[in-house]
């Protein structure tokens, strides 16, 4: 019976040495894990009692929701549905099965393989009349039996159950005692288990999730490796053939002291679900771990210092822990699960870095560098950390719950940053798409990056010390107060019933830097003169970005519309309304041509970066200097051609997607560096 918690085993070849080490270049023989899914349900918020269970099982493809974006946790589950979930959670072979012979479960039934696999494993048996009743309901007592048999829990006699509705003479007493002893359930109340109650989708997810936690093997420390034997802190084991390359003597420098979670059967380790690295390099000689393009389906934790990890894909969770005190670098690393930069300590008390700090010594500044790396979400709780993105690194969202300095190379824009409780000062030396502030206390924002949109949802004070520009700054609570200093704001959106003076504490000093208030031109800022004259007013200097935006607004007016497409501009976002299903990219170009002509006739475009965004994936399709005489229409046309989108392509393929371009140049001798987005929507 396979361990049910993490069945997608790490079956790749690892070998590292200090500074020049590399993974052994053997062909990997593991079965890759399913790609981790970033799925949330409208009816399962993070406060829901089954949230963690549903999130865990969904991320691994064990359970799914409905097409309307819900999971329906309170809906009763059928016996067939429960069988499918358990078979997937146990990672049973649902293809090569022996027919259990149920009259009501034929081989063309979509649940046939799952039901047969559970019967073959001795988890279920059906009814005496040779039926399974796949559409029937499942009781809590029946689920308790499936859990005990499926996870091979040691069956216990009735002893300390607090439930008045379970007695020792009933058939399910020992199963309920077992799940209770293993803390898989605490009953429906303090004194009832409700064995005959029908289980729901949420309850089944909770039963399985807690069973996995109860049966998960705790980590053991790697002591030594000799031949085909590995000595762990809890015993000596022989290795399954698929794991011998991982736990080889050549890897001992890297693996010694590592904490491994494994599955063993009859003295043989047959699978590894996670590894926590505790070895360290030095400032002069980093420990280099080169994955050479291999894939690790499990979870990986780094709790050693001065480590350089490269050329590795991690399917599970990835964590940079407390014992990374000075530096960690990830180069060409792809993480598909959630990544964390945390203050979580190593699994044992002492890391093997050989570096210690006296109580009086100044704590080092941990620097985390990502080079050409790709992450889904990164949660940062390590206080004082410097997070730096270089090369072509990408991350979908950064969640900051500590004081962090965020840096990014030119050309990198972090799409989404959320600041939560725990952060009091965040420095953004990086361009950011959307920044949401949900801090629990007052916050200072510093840095040089440009931000497309800032939304302050908390009612705490925010002080801006940023040198870049904020295109749109939205305040959600009338109790929030901000100080802008010299920060430039394109549009300050206020709560209903408030004025800028109510919200901006230093309004008199900073009013010249606010271009618009809730979409209305701020009279304190002199708008650019017709023909691009430019000037100042109220202490604000008209920038090249303002001149360019004003030209575009003058050209579009209330919106440029054709019979097929309508385009309007708000801030730096163009909304493209697709009015007909037959509308094509050609129609879009006709409607957008005045925009391009305006830019071409009034500006000198020096360079452009164009990207095509499909869902959450951003594809850079043009990243080079363009000729001065080349307008943005030509740049975008060539970029779209690179991804095979000719003029005859129907715009419906772009619905819900966007085209984004960043341009630099001059207008009336004023420099601009700004980003525009075309968002495609239906009528």
State what percent of residues in the chain have pLDDT above 90.
36
* 559 within domain boundaries: yes
pLDDT at 20: 33
Question: Average of pLDDT values for 604-614?
Answer: 55
* pLDDT over threshold 80, residue 49: yes
Give the pLDDT confidence score for residue 633 in this predicted structure: 60
Assign 156 a pLDDT band (cuts: 50, 70, 90).
confident
Asked if residue 117 belongs to a domain, the reply is no
Do 551 and 597 form a contact (C-beta atoms < 8 A)?
Answer: no
pLDDT of residue 334: 94
In a domain? residue 608: yes
* Residue 387 · residue 406 · CB < 8 Å: yes
- What HEC string does 534-592 produce? CCEECCEECCHHHHHHHHHHHHHCCCEECCCEEEEEECCEEEEEECCCCCEHHHHHHHH
Residue 261 has pLDDT above 80, yes or no: yes
What pLDDT was estimated at residue 199? 93
Backbone angles phi, psi at 212, to 5 degrees: -65, -40
Among the ranges 103-112, 265-274, 663-672, which has the highest mean pLDDT value? 103-112
465: helix, strand or coil: strand
Lowest mean per-residue pLDDT among 56-70, 208-222, 351-365? 351-365
Asked if residue 542 has pLDDT above 90, the reply is no
pLDDT score, position 5: 31
- Residue 446 domain-assigned? no
pLDDT of residue 597: 61
Rounded to 5 degrees, φ, ψ at 204 are -65, -45
Q: Is 340:361 a contact under the CB 8 Å cutoff?
A: no
pLDDT tier, 599 (very low <50, low <70, confident <90, very high otherwise): low
Q: Give how far Cα 531 sits from Cα of 64, 223, 534, 550, 668, Å.
A: 58, 76, 9, 10, 9
pTM for the model stands at 0.51
pLDDT of 559: 46
Count of CB atoms situated within 10 Å of the CB of 572: 20
Instruction: Say which DSSP state 359 is in.
Output: T
Q: How many residues does the chain have?
A: 683
* CA distance linking residue 378 with residue 333, whole number of Å: 13
Residue 450 is predicted with a pLDDT of: 92
- Number of structural domains, the chain? 1
> Who wins on pLDDT, 447 or 541?
447
pLDDT at 643: 61
DSSP 646-661: -TTSBGGGGTT-EEEE
Domain holding 598, by residue range, is 545-682
Phi, psi values for residue 516, rounded to 5°:
-135, 150
Checking if the pLDDT of 241 tops 60, the result is yes
Is residue 255 helix, strand or coil?
A: helix
Residue 198's pLDDT is what? Answer: 94
User: What whole-number percentage of the chain has pLDDT above 70?
Assistant: 76
pLDDT band at 351 (very low <50, low <70, confident <90, very high): very low
Q: Report the C-alpha gap between 492 and 474 in whole angstroms.
A: 6
Comparing 140-154, 235-249, 425-439, which segment has the lowest mean pLDDT? 235-249
**554 is a domain residue:** yes
How many CA atoms lie less than 13 Å away from 541 in the CB half-sphere? 7
Buried b (16+ CB within 10 A) or exposed e, 129-164: eeebbbeeebbbbbbbbbbbbbbebeebebeebebe
31 has a pLDDT exceeding 60 = no
| φ, ψ (nearest 5 deg) of residue 426 | -125, 130
The reply to whether 278 falls in a domain is no
Q: Are 324 and 368 in contact (CB under 8 A)?
A: yes
Q: What is the pLDDT of residue 682?
A: 72
Q: Which of 98-102, 471-475, 612-616, 636-640 has the lowest mean pLDDT?
A: 612-616
Cα separation, 654 vs 584, whole angstroms: 10
Q: Kindly report, residue by residue over 543-587, the tens digit of the pLDDT.
A: 777 777 777 766 555 444 556 777 777 767 777 777 777 888 777
Tell me what pLDDT residue 624 has. 47
Higher pLDDT residue, 15 or 293? Answer: 293
Q: What average pLDDT does this structure show over 508-514?
A: 88
User: Contact 280/352 with Cβ under 8 angstroms?
Assistant: yes
Can you tell me the distance from the alpha carbon of 296 to that of 8, in angstroms, rounded to the nearest whole number? 9
List residues bridging with 670 in a β-sheet: 667
Amino acid 525: pLDDT: 56
| Residues 540-566 as b or e (16 or more Cβ within 10 Å = b) | bebbbbbbbbbbbeeebeeebeeebbb
Q: Mind listing the pLDDT tens digit for each residue in 454-483? A: 999 988 999 999 988 999 999 999 999 999
Task: Average the pLDDT over each of 115-129, 221-235, 284-298, 336-350 and give the range with the smallest value.
Answer: 336-350
**Residue 234 binned pLDDT confidence (cut-offs 50, 70, 90):** confident
- Cβ within 8 Å of residue 37, ≥6 positions away: 58, 59, 61
Rounded CA-CA distance 285/226 in Å is 27
- pLDDT score for 36: 36
Q: Residues near 46 by Cβ (< 8 Å), separated by ≥ 6?
A: none
Cα–Cα distance for residue pair 467/460, rounded to 1 Å? 22
How crowded is the C-beta side of 140, counted as CA atoms within 13 Å?
A: 23
d(CA 189, CA 185): 10
291-329 burial code (b ≥16 CB/10 A, e <16): bbebbbbbbbbbbbbbbbbbbbbbbbbbbbbbbbbbbbb
**305-312 LR contacts (CB < 8 Å, sep 24+):** 305/280, 305/281, 305/351, 305/353, 305/355, 306/280, 306/281, 306/282, 306/353, 307/277, 307/280, 307/281, 308/281, 309/333, 311/23, 312/23
Q: What is the mean pLDDT of the chain?
A: 78
Q: Is residue 2 part of a domain?
A: no
Residue 336 lies in a domain: no
CA–CA dist 618, 468 (Å, integer)? 24
- Ramachandran angles phi, psi of 479, nearest 5°: -85, -5
Note the pLDDT tens digit of each residue in 355-402. Answer: 433 333 445 689 999 999 999 889 999 989 999 999 999 998 999 999
């Amino acid at each position: 019976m396979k361990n049910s918690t993490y069945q997608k085993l790490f079956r790749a070849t690892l070998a590292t040495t200090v500074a020049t080490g590399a993974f052994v270049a053997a062909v990997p023989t593991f079965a890759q894990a399913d790609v981790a899914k970033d799925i949330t349900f409208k009816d399962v918020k993070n406060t829901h009692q089954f949230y963690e269970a549903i999130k865990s099982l969904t991320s691994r493809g064990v359970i799914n929701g409905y097409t309307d974006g819900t999971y329906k946790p309170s809906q009763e589950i059928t016996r067939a549905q429960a069988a499918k979930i358990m078979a997937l959670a146990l990672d049973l072979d649902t293809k090569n099965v022996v027919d259990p012979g149920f009259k009501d479960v034929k081989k063309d039934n979509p649940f046939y393989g799952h039901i047969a696999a559970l019967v073959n494993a001795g988890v279920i048996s059906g009814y005496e009349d040779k039926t399974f009743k796949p559409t029937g309901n499942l009781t809590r007592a029946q689920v308790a039996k499936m859990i005990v048999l499926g996870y091979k829990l040691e069956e216990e006699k009735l002893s300390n159950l607090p439930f008045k509705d379970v007695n020792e003479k009933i058939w399910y007493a020992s199963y309920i005692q077992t799940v209770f002893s293993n803390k898989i359930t605490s009953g429906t109340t303090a004194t009832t288990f409700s064995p005959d109650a029908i289980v729901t989708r949420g309850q089944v997810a909770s039963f399985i999730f807690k069973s996995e936690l109860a049966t998960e093997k705790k980590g053991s420390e790697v002591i030594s490796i000799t031949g085909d034997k590995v000595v762990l802190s809890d015993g000596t084991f022989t290795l399954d053939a698929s794991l011998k390359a991982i736990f080889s003597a050549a890897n001992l420098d890297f693996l010694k002291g590592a904490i491994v979670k494994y599955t063993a059967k009859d003295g043989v380790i047959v699978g590894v679900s996670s590894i926590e690295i505790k070895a360290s390099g030095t400032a002069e000689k980093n420990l280099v771990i080169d994955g050479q393009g291999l894939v690790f389906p499990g979870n990986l934790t780094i709790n050693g210092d001065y480590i350089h990890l490269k050329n590795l894909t991690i399917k599970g969770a990835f964590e940079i822990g407390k014992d990374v005190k000075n530096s960690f670098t990830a180069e060409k690393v792809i993480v598909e699960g959630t990544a964390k930069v945390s203050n979580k300590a190593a699994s044992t008390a002492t890391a093997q870095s050989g570096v210690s700090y006296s109580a009086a010594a100044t704590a080092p500044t941990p620097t985390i560098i990502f080079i050409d790396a790709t992450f889904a979400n990164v949660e940062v709780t390590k206080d004082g950390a410097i997070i730096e993105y270089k090369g072509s690194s990408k991350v979908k969202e950064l969640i900051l719950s500590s004081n962090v300095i965020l840096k990014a190379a030119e050309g990198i824009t972090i799409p989404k940053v959320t600041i939560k409780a725990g952060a009091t000062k965040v420095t953004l030396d990086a361009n950011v798409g959307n920044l949401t502030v949900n801090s629990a206390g007052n916050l200072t924002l510093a840095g040089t990056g440009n931000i497309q949109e800032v939304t302050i949802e908390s009612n705490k004070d925010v002080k801006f010390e940023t040198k870049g520009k904020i295109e749109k700054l939205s305040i959600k609570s009338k109790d929030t107060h901000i100080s802008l200093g010299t920060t430039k704001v394109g549009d300050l959106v206020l709560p209903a019933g408030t004025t800028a003076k109510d919200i901006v504490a230093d309004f008199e000093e900073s009013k010249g830097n606010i271009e618009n208030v809730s979409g209305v031109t701020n009279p304190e800022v002199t708008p650019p003169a017709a023909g691009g004259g430019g000037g100042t007013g109220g202490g604000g200097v008209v920038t090249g970005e303002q001149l360019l935006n004003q030209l575009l607004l003058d050209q579009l007016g209330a919106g440029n519309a054709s019979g097929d497409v309508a385009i309007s501009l708000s801030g730096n976002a163009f909304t493209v309304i697709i009015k007909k299903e037959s509308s094509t990219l050609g129609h879009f170009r006709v409607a957008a041509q005045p925009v391009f002509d305006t830019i071409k006739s009034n500006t000198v475009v020096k360079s452009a970066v164009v990207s095509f965004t499909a869902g959450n994936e951003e594809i850079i399709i043009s990243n080079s200097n363009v000729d001065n005489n080349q307008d943005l229409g030509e740049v975008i046309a060539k970029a779209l051609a690179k991804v095979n989108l000719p003029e005859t392509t129907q715009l419906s393929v772009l619905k819900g997607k966007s085209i984004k371009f960043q341009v630099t140049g001059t207008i009336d001798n004023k420099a601009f560096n700004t980003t525009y987005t075309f968002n495609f929507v239906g009528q």
